[in-house]
Amino acid sequence: MIDPISKGQIRPDSRTTPPDGRPHRLQPKWRKDFPIDTGQDEYVSRRELVKFMVLTSGAFAVGQFWLVVRSLMRRGEAQPPAAPVAEVGELPIGGAKTFHYPEGSPPRLLVRLGENRFVAYDQQCTHLLCPVVPAVKEGALHCPCHHGWFDIETGEPTAGPPRRALPRVLVETRGDQVWATGVEEPQT
């Protein structure tokens, strides 16, 4: 079939007269949004796509400011009050247990490294939130899902996909109990 535009029968900028006979600028919005002619229709569809992209741009800007607000909220957060999380005699050297600090938090992992040495971190891997398990002999915490490794002394990632350190829970021994005294977010 021969295209009537290329054949010269229809001019590319031709506009069909609307049924009511009024000029195009006086037509209702719905008729402007759904034009009869191919050329006008292409123009409207591009214009609508630009509108949609600007809406997406607005959503990204809102997300960016949401991060600013969350950041300000995080700065204003006080450390939770200290709380006992385990008995000293409860864990052998090299042993570990999970706890929640503060109440309702994601699970934390307490590991006994020596007679009076305890460390505690978030149990969730910073890669994809799989639970990490202690590998005390290797001096590491291991995420078995994707073979991520963290230094057990610092919580820093040492191998595998994780790029961020595990948040550290500050712990100290008071008498025969281990107390959590705060949470330390990793710094880059």
Q: Interface residues with another protein (CB under 8 A)?
A: 12-13, 39, 42-43, 46-47, 49-51, 53-54, 56-58, 60-61, 63-65, 67-68, 70-71, 74-75, 126, 163-164, 185-188
In the bound complex, what is the minimum distance in angstroms from residue 96's beta carbon to another protein?
24
Looking at the Cβ atoms of 53 and 159, the one nearer to another protein is 53
Looking at the Cβ atoms of 5 and 93, the one nearer to another protein is 5
Looking at the Cβ atoms of 175 and 187, the one nearer to another protein is 187
Looking at the Cβ atoms of 37 and 90, the one nearer to another protein is 37
In the bound complex, what is the minimum distance in angstroms from residue 92's beta carbon to another protein?
33
In the bound complex, what is the minimum distance in angstroms from residue 46's beta carbon to another protein?
5
In the bound complex, what is the minimum distance in angstroms from residue 49's beta carbon to another protein?
6
* Nearest one of 174, 173, 76, 172 to 182, comparing CA atoms: 172
Location of structure tokens 């460390």: 119
Looking at the Cβ atoms of 32 and 117, the one nearer to another protein is 32
In the bound complex, what is the minimum distance in angstroms from residue 42's beta carbon to another protein?
7
